[in-house]
Structure formats: C-alpha cells, structure tokens
Amino acid sequence: MRSTFYIILTTTLLSLSIPFLSGAQSVDDVTPIPVEVIKEGRGHVTIDGKTQIVFDKQYGAQAEFMREMLAAQTGLNLPVYPNTATKPKASHHIRLVFDSKAIDKDEMYTLTVSGKDVTIRAKDTGGMVYGIQTLLQLFPVKQVREVKIPDVQIKDYPRFAYRGMHLDVVRHMFPVEFIKKYIDYLSFHKFNTFHWHLTDDQGWRIEIESYPKLNTVGSWRKETLIGHFKDQPARYDGTRYGGYYTKDEILEVINYASVRGIDIIPEIDIPGHSRATIAAYPELSTRPDTTWDVATTWGMYNRQNNVLQPNPATFQFLETVFQEVADLFPSEYFHLGGDETSKIWWKADPVSQAFIKEHNLKDEKGLQTYFVEQVASYLAAKGKKVIGWHEILEGDLSKSTLIMNWGGEKEGIAAARRGHQVIMSPGKPLYFDHYQSKDPNDSLAIHGYNPLDAVYAFEPVPKALREQKLGHYIIGAQGNLWTEYIGSQAKVQYMIFPRMTALSEVLWSPVEKRNYTDFKSRLKSAIIPRYTFWEASYFPHYEQWTAEK
C-alpha cells in the first residue's frame, strides 16, 4: 500500500519537474480502429530529438513526410537517414521497412514498438503512409521534448480497396493550399482516393491548352446565385466568379498526394453538365447559333440546356481534351461523369435525332451510352479505365466501366448483377452537402438529412449481394461534397467533420470492431483535438441529431 503511494508520488513529482516530458496518446484512441492491437510488452520506446528516422530506399519521401508531420505536431525534429548510410550512434530509431514477406496484403502495415525501436513494415506507399499515420496518433498533439511510447504490436489493413472523398471545385473553387489540406485530411483518415470534380455547368477548373476558350470563357461566370436555387425571386451577387488550376498547380497537387498515399481521379463531366463547355464553344451544343452563358444558378437538370450535340466537332473535342487531361494524371481511372443528362434537348434537336437513327441507337439513352463508350475508347488508348455515375447504366455498357452509384441500394445491386464493379456513394447517407441537423438555423445546405450516426451505420455491401455471393463487386465507397452552398474553406470543414471520420472507419475497419459509443469517445478524446490542431471547423452538435428510426 505504502510503496504504491510513494511510487505515485514520485512519478507525479518527476513529471512536474520535467516540463516537456509527455505521455503518449493511447493506442485505444487510434481511428479508424485497427484490425489487431496486441499490448503484451511492459516497456516503452523513448522518442526524443536524437531518435533517428531510418528508411529503406522505397520510403525516402515518406521518411521526410514523417519528419515534417512529427515536427509540426510535437516540435520534435528528428534526423532522417537512409538505412545504407553511415550515421552517428543513436539509442532509438523509427524504422520504415520494405517487407513483402511479412506483409501479405495491399495497403497493409505492421507497427511494432519494442526494445529500442519503433518499426513500420509495409510493401507499398499506402501501407507505409497508414503506418506513419497510426504512429503519429500515438504522439500527443503538443510541444514536447520526449515521448515514451508503450510497447505494442499493430497489424492493420483496409476492409475496402476503394476509400474515396470527392470535392466539387466548380460551384465554388478552393486554393491549391486548401486542396493540399483536404488531401492531408484524407491521408490522416486512411482514405486512398481523391475524386476531383473539375468541370460542370458553372465552370471549367483545369487548364486546357488545346481548347483555350475553355479557360478564357468557360472558367468564368458573370455572377452567382444567392441563397437556395428554389427561392423566388432568384437573387444574384453581381460579382464575376471563376478561375482554374494551371497544369503546374495540378502536378504539384498530384505529387503532394502521391507522397501521402492518395490517388487523384479527375472528373470531366459529359455529355450533360456541359454548359460551361458550350458557352466557350457553341458549335458543340444542340443550338450552335446560340450564345450560351456559363451557368450562374444551380440545379440545371431539365431546366436549362447543358448537353453536347453528337457531331464531328464534339467527338474531336472529346478525344483531344480527354487525352490531354489523361496525360496529366497518373491514375489508372478517369471519371467521365454521365450523371443527370437531360434528354429533352436531344429530343428537340434534328441533328441529334438524325445521329440516333444513323447509328442505330435505340433512343436518347442509347445516345448517352454512345458518348460514354466513345470517351472510354479515347481513354483506353491512353491505358485508362473509366468510372461514371450510375445513370450511364441506362444503356447497355461494357463491363470494364466502373459504376459510381449515387442512388440507393437498388441501383448498386443492379450494377453488380450486371457484372460491374461498384463504388457506393448513396445520397443517403454519403452526401456531405446534405444537412446533418434539423436545426432551422443550421447553415444553408441543399436538402436531406445525413446525421453522423447514419454515416457510421452505413454498410457498403447490400445484404442481397452478400446472400448471392456478389459482395465482391462492391469495391468501396465515397463521401461526396458538392459545393453549391459551400463557399468557404470553413464551411467545407464544417460539412465533412466529423462525418468523414465516421466514413473512414466504415471503409477501413472490420465490421465486428465497429461500435458507435466507442467511436464517439475516441472522437472526443483524440479526433476533435486534431480538428482543433488543424484549425479546422467542425459540426459540434452531432450527438443531438440522430437518424430517424
């Protein structure tokens, strides 16, 4: 009894007398929750400013990333060495090891804290990045001189191969510095894909050399709607709005993302959502004699003409532009949109009707599929596979096309039964542009209600597919952020946090480890302090608003 008391007293005094000594963050707080955590050892590894980061040659960029992140989080600025270098003697190391034997799954890592070293093993960039992210979560978020990390062995890998977050930079555009932050958020949460929605009715946001009017005309709108698009009368702000990312900026973002284990899938949305394109080049529209403006309002479907006409100039345009963009992005996949293509403008257009007849297409849906297959063939020439929103299934489509389903389970099931790989991105609950509360004073959103617990409870693989042993067609899921009503970086953060954190656990962790009460406790103790460290806003009333049963 007595001795325990003294031990407690001395340790308390000790920690009071050394101001910058800090305890580690508990391994029980790691989010998304890892597959396996073994806490057998009783020791710890002390990390201080003399600890060396030692990397195998595959992981030089990740070693530098680890150094930067740890320095920003704790003030500990560790020296970095390749494992082949002669280096000064050090008592402790953080080792980044390439190991394709012990590591037998894609994106897997092991993290071992034992003896004198912390060791992360992986066989690909993703695995190493996720190991680093887990390790960073074992450090406190404050300035320290040293940290004692308790012995632990973690083995971890993702449940789904595709773990995505989308961002619409058309309705509102965000600076490159913020896009990088967004990528940091993805990497922290062990997502692996950033879906970059680069074109739409309201603007082109990527530099295109072959068709310069896409930027001089298509990247700019005269003004922007104020309030909700259904509000009457419509009001506009009278301010010209726009811009685009240069190719150099895009490359900078691609490189930044690749060090952090994030693949970027660009989206050029056709054959609808093309108002900015036809504003720049009216000859690609169903009314070549018309002058179009870049859209200044939202919700164009069946309300304003925004489709491409099937004519030789259009297909020449699509081939040139898609190939130009494909050359820029290393990703294996390219997203060609295909959503919400209104058929009424094609119905009213004699040229489109003649094209349908001439090519033996069934109807306007067949024409939509024709567009998709044409673009897929231009991209195949560049070695790329295509992804499209689920409406592209309205026609008969080749099986190699990946379907991104923003409908419900029904559409996901139908796509899988037809033999397509599917990414689930249902409006309910994965549209983070929808409301997360029913508070009438909450910040304006488009509509809907996707509270945090609904996101956490989301199951990407529908029961019907599991029963038919077709579950493997669901390769993952994605959270979408359309930005009609999201004009600032703070609002982006407010809409994604903490819903994106919940989704990360759905996508990464084994189902049987998921527990909402435990998740909320980790959110409070470890994740919200991160949002604060990032100086990011978030929605704080998530406990008050729950899914309707």
Tell me which residues are annotated as active site. 340
CB 382 within 8 A of CB 332: no
Which residue number, 190 or 195, has a Cβ lying nearer to ligand TNX?
A: 195
Shortest separation between residue 448's beta carbon and ligand TNX, angstroms: 8
136 close to 69: Cβ distance less than 8 angstroms: yes
Closer residue to ligand TNX in complex, CB, 134/483: 483
| CA dist., res. 130 & res. 507, Å (int) | 14
Kindly state the smallest distance separating residue 231's Cβ from ligand TNX, in Å: 16
Residue 16, amino acid: L
Rounded-to-integer distance, Cα 168 and Cα 418, Å: 29
Residue 248 dihedral angles phi and psi, to the nearest 5°? -60, -40
> What single-letter DSSP state applies at residue 444?
P
Length of the chain: 549
CB of 24 to ligand TNX, least distance (A): 41
Q: In terms of CB distance, is 52 or 368 closer to ligand TNX?
A: 368
Q: Which is nearer to ligand TNX, 344 or 470 (CB)?
A: 344
Smallest distance, Å, CB 210 to ligand TNX? 25
Longest CA pairwise span in the chain (Å): 95
Q: By C-beta, is 187 or 478 nearer to ligand TNX?
A: 478
Which C-beta is closer to ligand TNX: that of 174 or that of 406?
406
Cα distance between residue 296 and residue 301, in whole Å: 14
CA distance 109 to 129: 9
Nearer to ligand TNX among residue 136 and residue 392 (C-beta): 392
Phi, psi for 109 (deg, rounded to 5)? -145, 160
CB of 476 to ligand TNX, least distance (A): 17
Distance between CA 216 and CA 211 in Å, rounded?
A: 10
Least separation in angstroms between residue 447's CB and ligand TNX is 8
238: left (phi over 0), alpha (psi -120 to 50) or beta: left
How far apart are alpha carbons 422 and 403 in whole angstroms? 5
| Residue whose entry in the numeric block shows the structure tokens 């912390």 | 118
Distinct helix (H) and strand (E) counts, the chain: 19, 24
Please, is 512 exposed, middle or buried when counting C-beta atoms within 10 Å of its C-beta (0-12, 13-18, 19+)? exposed
What ranges make up the beta strands (E) of 151-239? 152-156, 162-168, 193-197, 199-200, 203-204, 220-221, 225-226, 235-236
Contact 268, 285 (CB under 8 A): no
Nearer to ligand TNX, 132 or 375 (CB): 375
Nearer to ligand TNX, 29 or 484 (CB): 484
Residue type, 423: I
Residue 185 corresponds to which amino acid? Y
Contact 106, 161 (CB under 8 A): yes
Distance of closest approach, residue 409 Cβ to ligand TNX, in angstroms: 16
Strands 235-236 and 44-48: unpaired
Tokens of 533: 């460290």
Whole-number Å distance between alpha carbons of 81 and 60:
9
The least CB distance from residue 201 to ligand TNX, in Å, is 8
Closest CB 425 distance from ligand TNX, rounded Å = 8
Which of 542, 483, 521 lies closest to 166, judged by CA?
A: 483
- 476 touches 404 (CB < 8 A): no
Cβ-based nearer residue to ligand TNX, 299 or 366: 299
State the nearest-atom distance from the C-beta of 171 to ligand TNX, in Å: 7
Residue 143 near residue 20, CB atoms below 8 Å: yes
* Contact positions vs ligand TNX (CB under 6 A): 339-340, 389, 406, 431, 433, 446, 482, 484
